[in-house]
Amino acid sequence: MASTFLSVSVRPPPRPPSLPLINCRTTTNSSHFASRTQREPPPLTSILQNPNPSPSPPSSLTCALECPHFQSCSGCTHEYNLHHPAIVDEATDFFKALGVSDFTFDSCRLWGWRCRAKLAVRGSSSEPLIGLYEEGTHNIINIPDCKAHHPRINAAVELLKQGIAELNVEPYDEDKGTGELRYVQMAVTTYDTSLPVSQRYQNGKVQVALVWNSRNENSPSSEKLNALANYLWRNGGPRRKINIIHSLWANFQTSTNNIIFGNRWRHLFGGGDFWEHIGGIDVSLAPSSFGQANTKAFDSLLRKLQKYVPYGASVVDLYAGAGVIGLSLAATRKCRSVKCVEVNKESKLSFGKTVERLPVNLDCSISWHQADTSIEPLSWLVGSEVVVVDPPRKGLEPSLVDALRTISSVELNYRLPESPSLKAKDEKRPWILRAKEASMQYKLGPTKEESDSLPQTLIYVSCGWQSFKEDCASLLSGKTWHLDKAHGFNFFPGTQSIEILAVFKRHRGASVKKKKSGKKKRPS
């Protein structure tokens, strides 16, 4: 299904001035979204019907969820005004109180936006349940007509159910710890260069990761795993008229806790590399990598973020994952250097593959480091003019907040020859040495002398509204930073959630005073 976007600018005259500018992109709910009762597993062609519903202007009615699963499914929390969740008004007032009166909100795609979903598999082989937990329980709710899912995910789920029933695959039983298939991750790639750009999203293909209840591929149930994978590839792979499957992977997990993935992966069918085009670059994502669920919204955020990074700047990207933000800046802003710092070692391989597809004429020093940014955070900030942080929902680590809040008072110390960025050969701290051992270095262009500067711009990407407000208050309390710009993005339509892009600038007078006071002390 392809949604036709409407870009609507809602002008101030009829609206109170405190409300944000909302860029709303929406589509009409069509017969494709009609609920089905007495449902038989439909053929894939019926699931993918009506790819181009006609557009309609946004309103409280046309921006309604109209999902048959809303009352039981925990995925969405409100049905109406998907383009303007109530939290937007709270965010507008919050930023206005901090001097940012031009807060904007991009409502993004309202239906079919989720390109990455982790779903539990329960029930029985004859009646499999694939979906989310009912709120407050471990009861699974089937969501075959989910309005949030990219339609290809719904199609792949239906195909998986048919395979489970036909091959007598036993879904996992949490109480007994028995069964074979525990979870499935569906990830859609919408980047296919063989198609016109306008057709790529609707024709996305699904990377399917089956979480199998065994230690490895040599377990007694491995034959059934291979049979299920063969069934999915045969009925949804490239030899079918409608090719919905990109690749198939197995993950092996026997833990009794709620952790979805185990540490062991196996590639079964299809492309080994999963690519998406985001932020102006080709991005590689392994099934174990973190990836944003809303690809279109993330791309919009990256395009906005890029405007706040000066050309030729040196950048450090903290909580970097596979380095999507940092590498997109390297390519689009011609950065002098980009350091990506991430604690999860699984992101390293994807980072390296993405770097290999960057433009060959980049004049940039690029590196990836496996490290915990809460330990000696100043060692990562030194040498960069722009710091980008994209933390998990809990927000920034307190030690990093303190380092950023007090950065002006330590600026002179980091200009001394003993700076860790300038005398790496004398480094003795084990956490820094471990990070260097796990790092990847790329020199795309002539080697440049390493800078000892400290950030003048802080770009904060937040998925946790409450934690962001707390971090924002802490950063501003130090009188080192002021909030310059703020934008909101609708990463999860149907929920009271908001993704924030906030730009902080260093107070110019703060570091100048420190330098002057330092010079006065030297003669004595």
Residue list, annotated binding site for S-adenosyl-L-methionine = 292, 319, 342, 390
Of 76, 340, 463, 472, catalytic:
463
d(CA 270, CA 205): 11
Dihedral over Cα of 295, 301, 305, 311: its sign: positive
Show Cβ contacts of residue 199 under 8 Å, excluding neighbours closer than 6 positions.
2
Tell me the binding residues: 292, 319, 342, 390
The H-or-E segment that residue 122 falls in is: strand 116-123
d(CA 177, CA 186): 23
182 touches 212 (CB < 8 A): yes
Number of residues written out for the chain = 524
User: Would you state the structure tokens that stand for residue 421, as one six-digit string?
Assistant: 């960025």
Known active-site residue 463? yes
For 322, the 3-state DSSP assignment is coil
Q: Which residue has the tokens 């939290």?
A: 87
For 98, the 3-state DSSP assignment is coil
User: Would you state the structure tokens that stand for residue 145, as one six-digit string?
Assistant: 């007509």
- Residue 282's nearest CA partner among 331, 338, 336, 346 is 331
d(CA 214, CA 254): 6
How would DSSP label each residue in 393-457? TT-S-HHHHHHHHTGGGGTTGGGSTT-TTT-GGG---HHHHHHHHT-EEEEESS--PPP----SE
Per DSSP, 14 falls in state: T
How would DSSP label each residue in 58-79? --TTTT----TTTTT-SS----
d(CA 325, CA 515): 33
Please name the amino acid found at residue 197: V
- Nearest-10 Cα torsion for 373, 374, 380, 381: 120
132 touches 308 (CB < 8 A): no
DSSP count for the chain of H helices, then E strands? 13, 20
The H-or-E segment that residue 338 falls in is: strand 337-342
d(CA 139, CA 134): 6
Active site (catalytic) residues: 463
